[in-house]
Structures are given as C-alpha cells and as structure tokens.
Structure 1
Amino acid sequence: MVVGTIHRSGGIIWADLLGRVQLAYDREEDRLVLATEGIYIRADDS
C-alpha cells in the first residue's frame, strides 16, 4: 500500500508518494506530470 497526501492549489492537483513518485495534473493546461517520466499532453480528440 502506498500512502501519500494529495494537495490542491488553484487548477493544479499533486501528490508526492513517499518521495519516490511525484504526480501532478494541471486542469487549465490539461497536462499530467509524472516526475519520473515527464509531461504527458492529451492527444487531440478530433
């Protein structure tokens, strides 16, 4: 089981999971950031 705290500031939600993985989502930019891998941008749905 991994336990971490989820934080929210404006349009950004992030969590630091035991200092190993940092995950954030920016609603305004529609970006998902996984600190160990990089930034993921949603492909255009059209």
Structure 2
Amino acid sequence: MMDGENLAEKVANFLLSEAKILRTKDNTSIIFLGFDSKSSKSCRLAS
C-alpha cells in the first residue's frame, strides 16, 4: 500500500506548509478540513 502512504504523506506535508504560511502572530494556525462523501473529486483551499 505504498501509494496510499505516499498520498497521506503528501497531504500531511501540504497541510503543514499551509499552517506555516497562515500562522498568526502567536505562531498558531487554524485549518478547517471538511470531508463530504457526496462532494466532487476536486480540492479547494480557502484562506
């Protein structure tokens, strides 16, 4: 299951990168993740 692990690692790295970019003055970040089983396969990032 190497592909699934690789995908999970890519997602984790992306989220960490976004958290670093969007962090506040006190070095905290809030990222909202929405999982909808009825949604399309596209991915949107709102900031």
| TM superposition score normalised by structure 2 | 0.23
**Alignment TM-score, normalising by the size of structure 1:** 0.23
The structure with more helix, counted as a fraction of residues: 2
Q: Which has the higher contact order (CA 8 A, sep 6+)?
A: 1
Which structure shows the bigger proportion of residues in strand conformation?
1
Of the two, which has the highest radius of gyration? 2
